[in-house]
Every structure is written in C-alpha cells, then in structure tokens.
Amino acid sequence: KSRESTYQDLQEMKYLEMVIKESMRLYPPVPLFSRILNESASFNGALLPQGFVCALYVLQLHRNPDIFPDPEKFDPDRFLPENSTSRPPYAYVPFSAGLRNCIGQRFAMLELKATISKILRNFEILPVLDHEPQLSIEPVLKSYNGLPIVLKAR
C-alpha cells in the first residue's frame, strides 16, 4: 500500500495473472475475430476457397468443455503451468493469435496487473449480489446492464 509496484513486482504477480487470464477466458475482450484465407483450405471435409472469410467466436472457443472442463466455473488454476502445457496452442486466444495478434498484449497484461494490484492494496472488491451481466457481443465485449461492484476501503 505504501509504494507503487515495480516492474519486478508485476512480473512476480503470477496468481493475479492467472486470475486475469481466467477472466479473459470467460469474458474475452474481443469476442469475435475474422481472417481472410490467402489460399484454399479444407475444413471438416469442406473446401474453403481463397478469399473466404473465416470467423472465430472466441467466447464459445474459451467455453469448450473438451478443452476447459467445467467451462462456466471460474478457476484460475487452469493457468498453472502443469494445467496448461498440454492445451492446444490456439485454444486460448483473448488477444487473437498468429501473425495478426494484438501487439499490445504484454503491455495490456502489465497495465491490468498494475491497476488491479493498486486497487486491491487500497480496497476490498465486493460483488453486487443477484446481478447477472447481460453480454453485448460487439467488437469489444461489454455488459448491457453494467457490472456494478462495491469498493470497501482497507
């Protein structure tokens, strides 16, 4: 509470990073992204021609029970090294993936850790009971009815 987090402090916040990753698994910042095929490809026996637009619904991918057992449960331990090393490389893509992934993803993670850790040093975050967010699937995921919280000073 008495000082700002250093870069080294942020690097050591492993559990907070797992909490952030699990939050983005359930509520990816960008719930849908698309790519245009540079060449024809086959998928599940169907031929997709060059120029075909493929869309990936990240919100659904991250809730695939074959990859994430009990997918609706919030469980940061999914991101422990021993629980994530066998996961397919494109099963978790909150910042997209491949050549066109988000160039700011590492910076975003550092910013999230810095902001959340500062809030948590000064406040206890309490949920508003009986509030169910109504998701709005837009370029950036948001809730139609907000996401109220209560901050209690420490």
Q: Which residues are annotated as a binding site for heme?
A: 102
First CA to last CA across the chain, in angstroms?
A: 10
8 Å CB contact between 25 and 31: no
Residue 96's beta-bridge partner residues? 94
In single-letter form, the type of residue at position 91 comes to: A
Count of Cβ atoms closer than 10 Å to residue 24 Cβ: 21
- Say how far apart CA 104 and CA 90 lie, in whole Å: 18
Annotated binding site: 102
58-74: b or e for each residue (b if 16 or more CB lie within 10 Å)? bbebbeeeeebeebeee
